[in-house]
Amino acid sequence: MGSASNKQIPKSFRANRSRFLQWLGRAVLSFFGWKVKGVIEEKHNDKKLVVLIAPHTSNWDGIFGVAALAGLDAKITFIGKHTAFKYGLGAFLRYMGGIPVDRSRPGGIIQHAIDQIKEINGSLIAISPEGTRSKVKEWKTGFLRIAKEIKAEIVPASLDYSKKEILLGKVFKLSGDNQKDISDLKKYYSAFKPKHPEKY
């Protein structure tokens, strides 16, 4: 397998974009020496999943993330900083499934994302628990709200700069105890090296 493949995700999560765009995403990953590892198993076909992306400390995370999205041909809604959605780049990010976030009004954006995918079978939504590239004491809980509202499980997706890998981890079932779930997920992500460790 190359840097990424649509065989790593169930058919209901595939966007059926052009072969050129899929090739381009894989080519970008390969150029920088990156790979997407792991799979979302077929038993999750037609389900709703929240893809939790961490650690997030650099703009490069977004570049590799969008390249992986194209390479996997994943049909996914993702949340990004609104200032990135300008001009031609903004149109491209929206085409790929992006929703611009104005951090002064985060609640409305979360509800907008929920409304977009609530009635769709086979839905993926990607979000960073930190909500920013800067170091934070506590994770944002928006991903928990989304998962509960749409009755979804969590796919932990990690960026490891020591291995140049994006890993699709095993599906994580929420316990209903927010503090415990966040603690368990933080422990899982502690094994992966971010671009800027001092910010994580």
**Spatial distance between the Cα atoms of 65 and 195, rounded to a whole number of angstroms:** 13
pLDDT bucket at 9, cuts 50 / 70 / 90: very high
Nearest 5°: phi and psi at 91? Answer: -65, -40
Domains and CATH numbers, the chain: 10-195 (3.40.1130.10)
How many CA atoms lie less than 13 Å away from 136 in the CB half-sphere?
A: 16
Answer yes or no: is pLDDT of 162 > 90. Answer: yes
pLDDT tens by residue, 56-106: 889 899 899 999 999 999 998 877 777 778 777 888 888 888 877 766 665
Answer yes or no: is pLDDT of 131 > 60. Answer: no
**Spatial distance between the Cα atoms of 40 and 200, rounded to a whole number of angstroms:** 26
Instruction: Determine the average pLDDT of the residues in 8-32.
Output: 95
CB of 185 within 8 A of CB of 128? Answer: no
State pTM to two decimals.
0.84
Answer yes or no: is pLDDT of 125 > 60. Answer: yes
**Spatial distance between the Cα atoms of 178 and 90, rounded to a whole number of angstroms:** 33
* Listed residue (64, 70, 72, 67) closest to 7, CA to CA: 72
